[in-house]
Amino acid sequence: MPHKYLFPTLLLGLLLTAAGCKDPAHDGATGKTLPTAEVRVITVAGQAAQGQNQVAGAVESLQRATIGAKISGPIEEIPVVLGSTVKKGALLARISAGEIAARVAQAETQFSQAQRNFEREKRLLEQDASTRETVKSQEDAYRVTEAGLREARAMRDYTRITAPFAGIISQKMANAGDLATPGMPLLVLENTEHLQIVASAPEGLAMKIKKGDPLAVTVPAAEFSQTGAVTEIGPAADIASRTALVKIRIDPNPALRPGQYARVALPGGAGVNTFQVPETALFRFGQMERIFVVRDNTAQLRLVRSGEHRDGQVEILAGLNGGEQVVIQGGERLVDGQPVTIVP
């Protein structure tokens, strides 16, 4: 396309796009004006944050086990599904192993025969019809077959895989009919009654954290905020990321699930101005967090970033300025640019 036509074409496309994205409520061509809404507001005052940096983390179970096979063989049965709640000792999988059953039968026969020979020689010795060396030899054979029987029975026990603790099946990597091999993961079992937050702290901040320190954690998907205690700190920083692992114990909550995204506030940040507003002022739209402020009797939409929620208040970390009037009631149906009247 010649250059003399390129700029007008691009300009026309931008104008059409802008026209398509314009909010009909604000289109002057319609001749419609937005009604005046009554709202209640508060004037926010900034306060210094307690020198905190936020890092990403995840909810994890304190007890988590990857259940694997110890022997080879086709999987005969897996009587659990994703989300199944199981008790300690419950059957999780059964592996078919005919050769192990045959080995157990053989070991039982050998043990019974050795036991009879040992008992017979002991009786003969009492009648002076045998020697102590013969009895000792039969006793050794008896002990060997007894150990072989225990080994065979232990191998048979490997065909039945049971839960090491009570929990929920969070992953299932195999099904009945699959061929199991030693070390092959079959299931993941998690105890969701005891959870923790695991995060990676920059090495400079991790040095300021001690076991038992309280740290504020937030799980946005579960609308969960709490201050937990540090239970573990990685003794060494990861070479690639220069971060150390931090684990924080939290109280049980039915809304929490392993794997959920979490935010952890770490001490030692540069400190920023934050604002406390009622939770009624904050609205979520997808991944965005919004509030309305009033300026010149007009509602203005603001995108903000929230922090800790506590006692009906929410901390606004970004998107607000000190002295602004924030709508705390009546903002549910407000539109950006709508005229408002402030009521007490």
> Is it the case that residue 135 has pLDDT exceeding 60?
yes
When the pLDDT of each residue in the chain is averaged and rounded to a whole number, the result is: 82
**Alpha carbon distance 297, 63 (integer Å):** 55
CA distances to 83, 113, 220, 269, 319 from 316, in Å = 37, 80, 14, 16, 7
Picking from 192, 172, 169, 186, the residue whose alpha carbon sits closest to that of residue 63 is: 192
What is the pTM for the complete model shown? 0.53
Which is nearest to 258 in space by CA: 122, 105, 64?
64
Q: In whole angstroms, what separates CA 12 from the centre of its chain?
A: 49
So what's the pLDDT on residue 27? 43
> What confidence score (pLDDT) does residue 324 get?
87
Q: Give, to the nearest 10 degrees, the angle between helix 132-157 and helix 98-126.
A: 160
Residue 60 in contact with residue 196, Cβ under 8 Å?
yes
* Domain 98-158 in CATH 1.20.272: no
| CB atoms closer than 10 angstroms to residue 121 | 21
Percentage of the chain with pLDDT > 70? 86
Q: Collect all residues with Cβ–Cβ distance below 8 Å to 125 and sequence separation of at least 6.
A: 131, 132, 134, 135
Q: What is the pLDDT of residue 52?
A: 57
Domain 52-62+194-267's class?
A: mainly beta
What pLDDT shows up at residue 47?
54
Q: Give the up-direction half-sphere exposure of residue 208: CA atoms within 13 A in the CB hemisphere.
A: 13
| Mean pLDDT calculated for residue range 195-222 | 88
Burial string for 161-170 (b: 16+ CB within 10 Å, else e) reads bebeeebbbb
Domain 24-49+272-342 has CATH 2.40.420.20: yes
Q: Is the pLDDT of residue 86 over 50?
A: yes
Using CA atoms, how far apart are residues 170 and 191, in angstroms rounded to an integer? 10
| Residue 24 pLDDT class (50, 70, 90 cuts) | very low
How far is residue 165's CA from residue 316's CA, in Å, rounded to a whole number?
42
> Quick check: 51 pLDDT over 80?
no
338 versus 239: which is more confidently predicted? 338
Q: Can you give the pLDDT at residue 196?
A: 93
Structural contact between residues 34 and 60, judged by C-beta atoms closer than 8 angstroms: no
Domain ranges of the chain: 24-49+272-342, 52-62+194-267, 98-158
